[in-house]
Chains A and B, each alone.
Chain A
Amino acid sequence: MASEYSDDGSDQQSERCGSYSLSADVSESESCSSFSCRRFDGEGCSSSMTSSPRLMAAGGFAFQVPVIGGKDVVIWDDDDEKTEKRDTDLSGIEMMKERFAKLLLGEDMSGGGKGVCTALAISNAITNLSATVFGELWRLEPLAPQKKAMWRREMEWLLCVSDSIVELVPSVQQFPGGGTYEVMVTRPRSDLYINLPALKKLDAILITMLDGFREAEFWYVDRGIVVGDGGDCGAYSSSVSGGRPSIRQEEKWWLPCPKVPPNGLSEDTRKKLQQCRDSTNQILKAAMAINNSVLAEMEIPTAYLETLPKTGKACLGDIIYRYITADRFSPECLLDCLDLSTEHHTLEIANRIEAAVHVWKQKDQRKHMNHMKGRRSSWGGKVKGLVSDSEKNNFLSQRADTLLHSLRVRFPGLPQTALDMNKIQYNKDVGQSILESYSRVMESLAFNIMARIDDVLYVDDAVKHCAEAESNSLFSRSGLSGRPIQRRMSPSPFSIQHTPYASPFATPTFCSSTPITGSPGRAASSLNRNGIKEEPDWKHEKPYAAEFEKVWSYTGNLSARRVSENAPERD
């Protein structure tokens, strides 16, 4: 279900015609799936680790509309500033009109009215725009000016719809001669009023942060060159800095390799990077919070409710059902018993629990309605039976809700559940869709930036260790390894080579895997020369990590959820 977008962002000439117009031109069936897995072009897909980043938008639908022929390319003429401004203004208007026209057509370029609703069109447009602009965020460097301009301009257009979304509130006004009367006035809808400025601020902070990396001490080298770069610092350091790259770098072979000066980064730079990382983390959390709150507010689509199984038991499978309906119910205990080894499994479990919650809620409602209607006819024992049944449904749905909540707390980075995706897909509320997509896009961006910072820090650490090791005796047993041990922020079972456990729904086997904290687990990764494993001291450096990365770093989960970025790995 991966939707890839052609990466035309770097081509300024085609910027106007190619990048966003192509990315926006997905017909309805594709757009249903397109929002759910936001893959940034440069990062590939979490499901297909080695997929090429430069895949064209998938065809096979009504039609794809590539560049609309016949439009003039924008020419940046530096000679006559005035005409340039006018030209850009005019072409700016043309672009704006084109953007709005496409939104109005609901992505159906045949005009036939089989497009998507405005809410989904805007949501997709925001997502596609961010993929175009930030999709190639492979380095920590300022955004190219035209990309920045494009981002600002187009977001302004897309967000200006929200300016017209209002709600009526009563307000008291004065008569000229004294006395008051109450009149309804319009004001911006409250959720937009609160959240949109916040999101815009997060946006600005992130872009400014990128701008801050203008003249950094580190630089990047493309992969192809690294291999041949052995001559520089000697075989030793080259093996460190270029030899065996981090796991992520392995998987994402297209990412350029960060390089630091021979002695590592200066203290200042390091501090600055750390600060950036921290603030990006905060932004990430904020964006996630907004996204979650908007999703929670969205209406549950009837399409979802219709596809639910008939009984809670069918949703959950025997094991979980038994545990939920047991007398003593402890969510934590149950979660411990389940196989939550891979993200896929956990997501499946979350989906099922959510489904059960709604099945029971629906039953509860129906019973209540029937109870109301059938009050006359049901007497005596029958009444009792009905009451206890409805109570049971309510009770079970509450338990399931608690369980889901615990699951979410345990795995903060859980990807979107099936219900979330359905909500987004069938949502009609324009304001909510703007908030949801904007916050999701900000999450992705924040995550990417964090990953890039981590890359640089990793290389820096590697180099510093290398330098230390050089200054110490090579054969000292005090245990400095030849290279830093890679600490995965996600535990070993999540590696690609991991064999999947049996699904708890299929066979009643339990896997009692205890949640693994962020300690390094992968013996295979540390190909260290001296065969000495070093207890990484990053654990101490980053105590915060353990708190919310119990089993999984949510950054790792975001990879599947939004951006294709695996957990930033550190050695």
Chain B
Amino acid sequence: MPAGCKNSAMIFNSEMEQMKEKFAKLLLGEDMSGGGKGVSSALALSNAITNLAASVFGEQSRLEPMTADRKARWRREISWLLSVADHIVELVPSQQKSKDGTNMEIMVTKQRIDLLMNIPALRKLDTMLIDCLDNFKDQNEFYYLSKDAPDSEKGKSKRKDDKWWLPTVKVPQDGLSDKCRKNLQSQKESVTQVLKAAMSINAQVLSEMEIPENYIEALPKNGRASLGDAVYRSITVEFFDPDQFFSTMDLSSEHKILDLKNRLEASIVIWKRKMNQKDAKSAWGSAVSFEKREQFEERAETILHIIKHRFPGLPQSSLDISKIQYNQDVGQALLESYSRILESLAFTVLSRIEDVLFADNTSQNPKSQSCKWNSSKDESQPNSVSPGFDTNAVSAMTLSDLLTWSLDQNDYDEKADATDEMSNDVDGNGQKLTAVTNRGCD
């Protein structure tokens, strides 16, 4: 065999070996002793995708193309993991013509519909993100200083957030050229679209996932216990008004909002179960009638819906986490984890674009430092929260302002100061958004 052939054969073989090893570990469910105490395939795949993304994108700290080998590795390994989805099928009827011309209906296999629709979409989003990074291949207008550079060099572009490990952006003296700025803007638009799409797929898959038994067993006995008296009272008033409800709630920190969300979700599950149980006993013991329960459940769902729109960057609730952890469905696990990491990656890219735009803005308007550089999400941990933003306000403000409360669950304590600072300016979400709009940091 000629040398080139041999080399490629060797590379090929080593790739095969890698793939086999990867699959072997997945099959063992991460339990290397082979003893069978590993996790289910679904969770193993989900973790594998998450870890792969962390290792590949974790170092994407600049707005520049991915290195070739990292890109190749990403493509190769993700395709291995997603190839499992090719074999998840369902039976569908189909018409066939037999030899004598009669129409016969037989069942044929076809890829499961949710995977058939979503996986190509997710792969497309994947490609879009990588291409976006590739876009900045030969740009020469902005550059990065290493994080160890002295403060004097960093000057006014110094990052004001806690992310000391990210390099500082430097733009030319007079800011970026128009062309560059326009390019950045358009990239931002498309990445925003990607982010929205990924989030919606993730939310959809999560909503389809089965509620695990562990979660149900850990629930309190009734809605009142789960909500707490105050909230319960607010929900069960005679005339329910969502705005009124929100005004009575303390939504000062992300932690509190998340807590409320968890409680509401728990109550909805409890009420749904009670409504489905049709126990004769329930007529006895509960003070709440069936119709009332239904009504409360609807109200709770309304509140959750509003929370979702007002605080799109909220971390995953405990129900979500529980669902992912105990999920057995391999297809759903693939979709959920893939969409989650694409969200993270999209958010990372978006942040990096924002960094550059901010630096540009600062250089042009040194006085208007009103755009507070609040803590943005910790994008180096794609494992955790899903970021988000208000769709309407995107064009009007910078992402960082929107995501004042999009904190990584791990470090929300540190960031609590930042949000408290922010919340002092506003006393309601609607106002918060408008306040930010007025700043016009763009």
The answer to whether A66 touches B109 (Cβ under 8 A) is yes
Select the stretch in B27-35, B64-72, B262-270, B390-398 that faces chain A: B27-35
> Does any Cβ of A come within 8 Å of B37's Cβ?
yes
Taken residue by residue from 105 to 132, chain A's Cβ proximity to chain B (1 for < 8 Å, 0 otherwise) reads as: 1100111111101110010000000000
Q: List B contacts of A428 (CB < 8 A).
A: 35-37
Q: List A contacts of B329 (CB < 8 A).
A: 111-113
Interface residues on B, range: 35 or more
Q: List B contacts of A115 (CB < 8 A).
A: 41
> Does any Cβ of B come within 8 Å of A82's Cβ?
yes
Chain B residue at smallest Cβ distance from A97: B83
> Does any Cβ of B come within 8 Å of A209's Cβ?
no
The answer to whether B331 touches A122 (Cβ under 8 A) is no
CA distance A157 to B20 in the complex (A): 7
CA distance A427 to B26 in the complex (A): 18
* Chain A: minimal CB distance from B104 (Å): 16
> Does any Cβ of B come within 8 Å of A517's Cβ?
no
Query: Which of B20, B37, B84 lies in contact with A104, CB distance below 8 A?
Result: B84
* Chain A: minimal CB distance from B442 (Å): 45
CA distance A80 to B16 in the complex (A): 23
Given A66-B109, A109-B87: A164 in contact with B41 (beta carbons within 8 A): no
Select the stretch in B88-96, B220-228, B336-344, B419-427 that faces chain A: B88-96
Docked complex: B36-83 residues within 8 A CB-CB of A: 36-38, 40-42, 44-45, 80, 83
Chain B residue at smallest Cβ distance from A162: B34
The answer to whether A430 touches B89 (Cβ under 8 A) is no
CA distance A65 to B109 in the complex (A): 7
The answer to whether A165 touches B28 (Cβ under 8 A) is yes
Given A96-B16, A118-B28, A430-B28: A104 in contact with B23 (beta carbons within 8 A): yes
> Does any Cβ of A come within 8 Å of B154's Cβ?
no
* Chain B: minimal CB distance from A103 (Å): 6
The answer to whether A102 touches B87 (Cβ under 8 A) is yes
* Chain A: minimal CB distance from B108 (Å): 6
> Does any Cβ of B come within 8 Å of A336's Cβ?
no
> Does any Cβ of B come within 8 Å of A222's Cβ?
no
The answer to whether B19 touches A105 (Cβ under 8 A) is no
Residues of A within 8 A of B (CB-CB), count? 47
The answer to whether A104 touches B35 (Cβ under 8 A) is no
Chain B residue at smallest Cβ distance from A157: B20
> Does any Cβ of B come within 8 Å of A53's Cβ?
no
Query: Which of A93, A111, A114, A167 lies in contact with B112, CB distance below 8 A?
Result: A111
Chain A residue at smallest Cβ distance from B86: A101
Given A65-B89, A93-B16, A163-B24: A105 in contact with B109 (beta carbons within 8 A): no
* Chain A: minimal CB distance from B23 (Å): 4
Q: List B contacts of A109 (CB < 8 A).
A: 87-89, 109
The answer to whether B88 touches A105 (Cβ under 8 A) is yes
> Does any Cβ of A come within 8 Å of B5's Cβ?
yes
Query: Which of B33, B90, B110, B330 lies in contact with A165, CB distance below 8 A?
Result: B33
> Does any Cβ of B come within 8 Å of A248's Cβ?
no
Q: List B contacts of A112 (CB < 8 A).
A: 328-329, 331
> Does any Cβ of B come within 8 Å of A329's Cβ?
no
CA distance A89 to B11 in the complex (A): 12
Docked complex: A187-234 residues within 8 A CB-CB of B: 189, 192
Query: Which of A68, A104, A117 lies in contact with B45, CB distance below 8 A?
Result: A104
Q: Which 7 A-B pairs have the closest CB atoms?
A: A113-B328, A428-B36, A165-B34, A111-B88, A111-B331, A431-B34, A100-B23
Other 5 A-B pairs with CB < 8 A, given A97-B84, A111-B115, A192-B34: A65-B89, A89-B12, A105-B84, A118-B28, A162-B34
Enumerate 25 A-B pairs (CB-CB under 8 Å) in ascending A order. Answer: A66-B109, A69-B108, A97-B80, A100-B84, A101-B83, A104-B26, A105-B87, A106-B41, A110-B89, A111-B88, A111-B329, A113-B327, A113-B328, A114-B328, A118-B28, A119-B36, A160-B20, A161-B27, A164-B24, A164-B34, A165-B33, A189-B33, A428-B36, A430-B28, A431-B35
